[in-house]
Structure 1
Amino acid sequence: MRRITLVALAAVLLTGCSGTDGKVTDGLGALPVPSAAVPATGACLATGGNVAYNDKGDPSATPVDCAKPHKLEVVQVARFPDSAEPPGWGSPAMRAAYADCGKAASGYLGGDWHTGWLFVHVGRPSTAAWAGGARSYVCGVAEFQRTDWSAPALERTGSLRGTLAGGPPKCAVLVGNQPDRQGFYTRIAGERRTGCTELHDAELAAVLEMPDGAYPGDKAQADYLLPRCVTAVTTLLGLTREAFARRSELWVHFTWLDDENEWQAGERTSLCYAIVSASHQVRASLKGVGAGPLPY
């Protein structure tokens, strides 16, 4: 993905709760103190607002049957530890909540949420609700079609529960420009999901996680992620590194963790892809292709 990150931690869409948008602004429409409405795990929420990682405030949401159009699905409800004020962005309590929500999302979905074209959403009580004793945070997931900042959450029907079980291949079309002489983009802005039987130029090989610590710059990220991505891609393809280096029509692409707010929340993952030239896309999985021809 990134120079663009996986969209993550949008403003919460719940009456009585506020979003965690990197600046920890209070949500709109807080319920009267001391109570706040908290949805149940499995609840689906419809909204006319923009479900994205931004500073535009919290649009209102309405619980609906999951068979009806909605943008957000609740995967867990838990509680912050008590404190004088709602936890701030990047605080230990918020980082713990983000990690908890990610774990809950993967359990609910049946596989690592990072592989599912989803983002994790964490909602906390508004300042007024917190003062009235509210401590619940709401873990939700929303779905998107492509991985750039202009991509809104999808309005979907049906539950996401269990949809990542089985781990089918994950393929994508790269969104890029300035192709080199071999047709590989020199600038990649994101990925747009597609089926592996449709024309595509990228296939997910691994979810890589960087170690905790200070936010890393580009060089530190590349030094850590590139060799690990090459290992994952050669494993997917069934090639040695030497054989892979001889295949000029194949290469690797990994997503950058280029949003420090995400890093402060505890997000450390990069997606690693096997890629082919955009001018010679394929219609099948690259798994086990080895030294054979590509499935054009």
Structure 2
Amino acid sequence: MRYTVLAAAAAVVLLAGCAGSDDLDGNGGRPPSASSSPVEALPAVGACLTSGGNIAYADKADPATKSVSCDTPHKLEVVSTGRFPDSGQVPGWGSDALRAVYGECGKAATAYLGADWHGGWLFLHIGRPAGADWAGGARGYVCSIAEFERTDSSAPALERTGTLRGDLAPGGPGKVAQHCATLIAQDPDAQGFYDGASQRRSDCAALHDAEYAGSVEQPAGVFPAWESQQAFARDKCDALVAGLLGLTPQALTKRHDVRSLLTYLDDQSEWQAGERSNLCYATVSQSHKVRASIKDLRSGPLPY
């Protein structure tokens, strides 16, 4: 789960729970018989999957999925498939096998989208065999991307139509690209800024108080406390926000109407699964929300 914590500027993938799939075995999700080996008909890269179950970061269940035309409503789009190494049980959060797959899934998603997947309103979903299928020999996994509209852990995958292939590439459609957002929080500080929030997608022409600036990847290792995350990422986040505004980090410190907001990786299981990126947002005070992008604002006044 991600929350955001203020990093001084003057500062889900998200990972979904695992899901079984009708495409992960040859028995429509039914356990294979003890005398037969499962036929793993994995979907092709670019295939779209739908589900009647809830696919979300916090969802630890295994909703069944099925392949559908990408022109019809769906929740997942496949970016890679593969096989787990043999082991006694389905790889769980924190396992070396799942971390390796999550890393490869992220690389595949970035290649499929044309730019870092963290720059979209997206999270990664890794579909694994059900326990009974694993016992019967199934080892296939399916890495997919899912779209969401807010960054808290309960945000479900949205139903959508069409493909996201190349969506984040330079000159691409950018249908799921992160731009403007509304912060979800309570009790701003005396200057009207939040020191902790999640984000909800917003049209830049609508009243909003945040804009995505980029992401910072923490180094691999043991799960870092917030202080360690902040020490590593704060200056990098400030630089990203300054770059969004067309300023140097030093010039950003002279603006008191824009601050950087750094998301905090507070879910150790998310870290164990392989997610290490903090997201950075430029934010404005609740007393002066804006109805336009502040990209390349430089030293100019905030728009109204």
TM-score (norm 2): 0.86
Residues 16, 30 of structure 1: 8 Å contact kept? no
Tell me which residue corresponds to 1:139.
Answer: 143
Deviations 1:213-264 (CA, angstroms, capped at 9, x unpaired): 1111111112112121112212222223443222111100011111111111
Residues 169, 196 of structure 1: 8 Å contact kept? no
**Deviation of the 1:78 alpha carbon:** 1.3
SS in 1 for 2:298: coil
Deviations 1:95-131 (CA, angstroms, capped at 9, x unpaired): 1111111111111112111111111011222333233
Separation in 1, partners of 2:108, 2:221: 24
SS in 2 for 1:111: coil
**Deviation of the 1:31 alpha carbon:** 4.2
- Uncovered stretches (5+) of structure 1, i.e. residues with no partner: 19-27
Residues 47, 60 of structure 1: 8 Å contact kept? yes
Asked if residue 15 in structure 1 is aligned to residue 19 in structure 2, the reply is no
Residues 75, 139 of structure 1: 8 Å contact kept? yes
Amino-acid identity (%): 54
Tell me which residue corresponds to 1:88.
Answer: 92
Residues 119, 178 of structure 2: 8 Å contact kept? no
Out of 102, 107, 112, the position equivalent to 1:98 is: 102
Q: Matches of residues 204-219 of structure 1 in structure 2 within 5 Å?
A: 204-219=212-227
Deviations 1:2-31 (CA, angstroms, capped at 9, x unpaired): 32775313221413759xxxxxxxxx9444
Out of 263, 267, 286, the position equivalent to 1:259 is: 267
Taking a change above 3 Å as real, the CA distance of residues 206 and 16 of structure 1, as seen in their structure-2 partners, is closer
Taking a change above 3 Å as real, the CA distance of residues 86 and 59 of structure 1, as seen in their structure-2 partners, is closer
Residues 171, 194 of structure 1: 8 Å contact kept? yes
Residues 11, 54 of structure 1: 8 Å contact kept? no
| Greater Cα shift, 149-158 or 263-272 | 149-158
Question: Partner amino acid for 1:68?
Answer: T
Deviations 1:177-235 (CA, angstroms, capped at 9, x unpaired): 102232212331x1011233332211111210011111111111121121211122122
Residues 239, 290 of structure 1: 8 Å contact kept? yes
Tell me which residue corresponds to 1:288.
Answer: 296
Out of 205, 229, 232, the position equivalent to 1:224 is: 232
Residues 16, 125 of structure 1: 8 Å contact kept? no
Separation in 1, partners of 2:254, 2:226: 27
Residues 181, 211 of structure 2: 8 Å contact kept? yes
Deviations 1:52-76 (CA, angstroms, capped at 9, x unpaired): 1335521222221111111111111
Question: Partner amino acid for 1:176?
Answer: A
Asked if residue 245 in structure 1 is aligned to residue 253 in structure 2, the reply is yes
Taking a change above 3 Å as real, the CA distance of residues 13 and 280 of structure 1, as seen in their structure-2 partners, is farther
Residues 16, 129 of structure 1: 8 Å contact kept? no
Q: Tell me: higher relative CO, structure 1 or 2? Use CA pairs within 8 A at least 6 residues apart.
A: 2
TM-score (norm 1): 0.88
Tell me which residue corresponds to 1:275.
Answer: 283
Q: Matches of residues 30-179 of structure 1 in structure 2 within 5 Å?
A: 30-33=30-33, 34-35=37-38, 36-54=40-58, 56-166=60-170, 170-179=179-188
Separation in 2, partners of 1:251, 1:266: 28
| Greater Cα shift, 215-224 or 4-13 | 4-13
- Uncovered stretches (5+) of structure 2, i.e. residues with no partner: 5-11
Question: Partner amino acid for 2:15?
Answer: A
| Greater Cα shift, 231-240 or 59-68 | 231-240
Tell me the number of residue pairs that the alignment of Structure 1 and Structure 2 aligns.
286
Question: Partner amino acid for 1:50?
Answer: N
Separation in 2, partners of 1:275, 1:30: 49
Question: Partner amino acid for 1:60?
Answer: A
Separation in 2, partners of 1:55, 1:231: 34
| Greater Cα shift, 230-239 or 202-211 | 230-239
